[in-house]
Amino acid sequence: LTLLFGLASINTLTVISVTRYIKGCHPERGHCISNSSMSVALVLIWVAAFFWSAAPLLGWGSYTDRMYGTCEIDWAKANFSTIYKSYIISIFICCFFLPVTVMVFSYVSIINTVKLSHALTGLGDPTDRQRRIERDVTRVSIVICTAFIIAWSPYAVISIWSAYGHSVPNLTSILASLFAKSASFYNPIIYFGMSSKFRKDIFILFHC
């Protein structure tokens, strides 16, 4: 369940970055973002998360009990089995490296598009509103990418490290797991604190 919800969180952040990229960099394709396409995206988010979290239960990969009351992927078995190693490498690429690449590309493209837009429209003399929009978009994009990488990089690194036969202290493993799980906690806070549109939508949703 921990892996399932963690992967669902990663997939959700990736889809959010793609939708922001389409709306920010290719507004002419904004019609592609509809209720039906978002429903399909949500289904795919959970199908992918379920596939990767259920694979060890079906023999591709393995779970192991941890001393602090939970379980996680058994990285050490990669030393003894090509099947387990293939699962660990595959989940690292598909569930960490590719999402990070997509998010970084999306947000860097958004930042560049905003800068180019104000350079073309403001002719080197942007208005206060343009400066504020550029600053807000840039700030939110950088914080989201940075927070994601900070949260999941330690866990990904020690996972690959242990998969290749190196021992990882229990405290290091615990801290890395906590960092990774914290992503689900602070991402909503980032959006709520830094996006006025997100706050307005929340207030409308709860009739505030």
Q: What is the pLDDT of residues 177-194, one digit of tens each?
A: 788 777 777 778 887 888
The amino acid at residue 140 is: V
Q: What pTM, to 2 d.p., does this model score? A: 0.76
Mean pLDDT for the chain?
80
User: Would you state the pLDDT for residue 29?
Assistant: 80
Total number of domains constituting the chain: 1
Contact 74, 59 (CB under 8 A): no
Any idea what DSSP says for residue 165?
A: T
Helix (H) or strand (E) holding 122: helix 98-122
CA neighbor of 68 nearest in space, from 178, 200, 142, 148: 178
- Check residue 134 and give left, alpha or beta (phi > 0: left; psi -120 to 50: alpha): alpha
pLDDT of 24 over the 80 cut: no
CATH code for position 188: 1.20.1070.10
Confidence of residue 49 (pLDDT cuts 50, 70, 90): very high
pLDDT at 120: 60
How large a percentage of the chain has pLDDT more than 70? Answer: 87
Count of CB atoms situated within 10 Å of the CB of 19? 17
Averaged pLDDT for residues 113-131: 63
* Domain of 19, in residue numbers: 1-206
Element (H, E) at 19: helix 2-25
Tens-place pLDDT, residues 84-98: 888 888 888 898 889
What is the sign, positive or negative, of the torsion defined by CA atoms of 32, 94, 9, 60? positive
d(CA 16, CA 183): 14
Contacts of 155 by beta carbon, 8 Å cutoff, 6+ apart: 176, 177, 179, 180
The three-state secondary structure class of 61 is: coil
Contact present, 130 and 121 (Cβ < 8 Å): yes
Per-residue pLDDT band at 44 (split at 50, 70, 90): very high
Report whether pLDDT(123) > 70: no
Q: Distance between CA 89 and CA 84 in Å, rounded?
A: 9
List C-alpha distances in Å: 16 to 4, 24, 33, 196.
Answer: 18, 12, 11, 16
